[in-house]
Chain A
Amino acid sequence: MSTPNKPLIQIKDVVIGIPHKRRPTLIIVDKANFDINYGEMVGIVGESGSGKTMICRTMIGTLERRGGKILSGEVIFEGQNLATASDATWKNLRGKSIGYVPQSALAGPNPVLTIEAQLTEALRNTGDTKNIKARSKELLDLVKIRRVDTVMKQYPYQLSGGMRQRVMIACALATSPKLLIADEPTTGLDVTVQSQIMDLLKEIRSTMGTAIVLISHDLALIDEVCDRVVVMHAGATVEVGSVKELEKPRHPYTIALNSSRIDIAKPGSELVTIKGNAPSVGEWNLGCRFAERCSIVQSDCKVGVHPELIGASGTHQSACIHTELLERI
């Protein structure tokens, strides 16, 4: 792994909104703060609607074509601020230094192109057009696809979900990216396939030194494969720390998420659920956005703006201003 503990990409106070012609801009992410180091595997967890995918899109520069906009804050990738980057800059980064594996493996690949054609397209992107066929085969080998020659001639519909996701990973790896973003790469796939894909990602990380961002709402999965975890709730990062540090969470939301895990629950016992629903976009209350659902809420939690992460970057950070009360939960 090259130069560990040096940030590859830094998300600093990012605010993302969706502008509207008549109504005021809808803020969907506010106070997102975290770093991803070289060669590190970081998991982003949170409920649906917590802004995980939006953060993902800012890191691959596809936010604007989906109607979103970075209103303030910085996304620093190797010293370059991507929040204000031009299309030309993105063209040199997206699919080159930053790879992306989409959520839906079944809809990911282009249905009318053979696997060979898709890989060729990805490889041409590197600027080196020599030996494309041989390099395509190498890539398929890398993602552990057997019968490479047959698969090259096949169309996505002829492959299983796991195989399609492997092809998507191969495409993303074509340019040996420094950062690979995987947005719920195993949703809808079987557990056996999921564990194979995770093994593959771990191997890619250790052999190629690629930093990997894994977005998921499965805490057990993140615990197992990642080095660090970023917990998001209602558009803000509420806790950041290593997997080990998060065994002793310092934010009530993380504690609640942990206790709703069924993999550690006793069969038939009452599962702890998080009170209420995550606040909808545009309906955030004053102060901490988790306050309405929090079991240790205090009067000063509901005033002002959402609290900042407390603690230095790279250490165990939490956005709870009453960590001294956590023992009561």
Chain B
Amino acid sequence: MYPHRTLGANLMAEFLLEAKNVSVTFGSGSTKVEAVKNCSLTLRSGEPIGIVGESGSGKSTLARVLAGLQAPTEGEIFFNGEPVYKGSKSYTGEARRQVQMVFQDPYGSLNPQLTGLNAVAEAVRIHDKTNKDESENRALELLRRMGIAELDAIKKPRQLSGGQRQRVSVARALSANPTVLLADEPTSAIDQSAQAQLLNLFRGLLDDGLSIVLVSHDLGVIRYLTQRVYVMKDGVFVESGITEEIFNDPLEDYTKLLLASIPGDLGVAARRKLNKN
């Protein structure tokens, strides 16, 4: 992987990515839905943070706002101190490549006609403006790093397992050489051993200095990977803080309920606490 590009004039910005009082509203009148309400979030360079909540809580919408795919109705997003949404555009210039997203369903987000190698090479060509051979070499290198051998790289998505597909999407996101990776439920469509592989990869990326925003409803994954977490309910952040502290001593009833619902040992302690009250 390339060394990370220098961030230019705004190297001193305190936060790499920052959301200030963001609200997103869909529809109007009686069908108006406030998906995200007045949410503020910060991400420092090299930091893994999590956004956790049930389906419909607005976490995917917020992730799309952070990725530059959905303009907020109110509030602003700053990347490196610069506003992300300028007029009808988002992430202009050099900033565009630095924030990349991995989607929930790898089968839906990969082109079924393209092999893993072609999909990643295409992204490399777009970002690096290189020729075919060079882009394929770099794509192969990225895929190898994600644990996809050359033999599997020339397979189409339908010939790959769920975990492999997800790793191809991560390789494609990394082809832009980003500083921030937004991952929207990356592990929910794959089984346990594939999940462990993907999480190991994410941990390696963190060691290389990448910042990760992990959106998930799986508290086990959040606990394992993130340092700070935002708990979201009905479009609002109900609690945020250091992941370990929130897991050991949740303040909000909703967080307690979420923790108590985890199957296995993790949930047992939380359940005991919940029953005591």
Q: A residues within 8 Å of B by Cβ?
A: 47-49, 161, 188-195, 198, 217-221, 223-225, 256-257, 260-265, 267-268, 270-274, 277-278
Contacts and interface: CB of A to CB of B under 8 A. Distances in A.
Contacts of A262: 195-196, 199, 220-221, 223-224
Contact of B223 (A256, A267, A277): A267
B258 interface: yes
B54 A190 contact: yes
B260 A260 contact: no
B261 interface: yes
B162 interface: yes
A197 to B, nearest CB: 11
B262 A263 contact: yes
Nearest to B266: A263
Contact of B263 (A218, A260, A267, A274): A218
A274 B193 contact: yes
A267 B224 contact: yes
Contacts, number: 105
A182 B261 CA distance: 19
Interface in B172-213: 188, 191-197, 199-200, 203
A270 B264 contact: no
Contacts of A271: 196-197, 199-200, 224
B73 interface: no
Given A190-B54, A191-B258, A192-B261, A217 B161 contact: no
B217 A267 contact: no
B257 interface: yes
**What range describes how many residues of B lie at the interface?**
35 or more
Contacts of A277: 161, 164
A18 B220 CA distance: 38
Given A188-B188, A195-B260, A267-B224, A257 B54 contact: no
B135 to A, nearest CB: 27
B157 to A, nearest CB: 15
B264 A264 contact: yes
B197 A273 contact: yes
Contacts of A193: 54
B203 to A, nearest CB: 7
Contacts of A219: 192, 264
Contacts of A270: 200, 203
B109 interface: no
B265 A263 contact: yes
Summarize A's interface: helix, strand, loop or mixed. loop
29 contacts: A47-B193, A48-B191, A49-B161, A161-B55, A188-B188, A190-B217, A191-B54, A191-B217, A191-B261, A193-B54, A194-B261, A217-B191, A219-B264, A220-B220, A260-B196, A261-B192, A262-B199, A262-B220, A263-B262, A263-B263, A263-B265, A264-B264, A265-B224, A267-B225, A268-B224, A270-B203, A271-B196, A273-B196, A278-B161
B145 to A, nearest CB: 15
B264 A221 contact: yes
Contact of A273 (B193, B220, B264): B193
A257 B260 CA distance: 23
A200 to B, nearest CB: 13
Given A262-B199, A267-B244, A268-B224, A198 B193 contact: no
Nearest to A272: B196
B218 interface: yes
Contacts of A195: 260-261, 263, 267
Contacts of B197: 271, 273
Contacts of A223: 263-264
Given A217-B191, A262-B195, A268-B224, A48 B55 contact: no
B123 interface: no
Interface in B219-260: 219-221, 223-225, 243-244, 257-258, 260
Contacts of A189: 55
Interface string B260-277: 111111110000000000
A221 B200 contact: no
B167 to A, nearest CB: 12
Nearest to A222: B263
A188 B199 CA distance: 19
Closest 4 CB pairs of A and B: A220-B264, A260-B196, A195-B261, A271-B196
A261 B221 CA distance: 10
Contacts of B203: 268, 270
A239 B74 CA distance: 56
A218 B192 contact: yes
A272 B194 CA distance: 11
A257 B194 CA distance: 11
Most chain B CB neighbours (cut-off 10 Å) among A161, A262, A272: A262
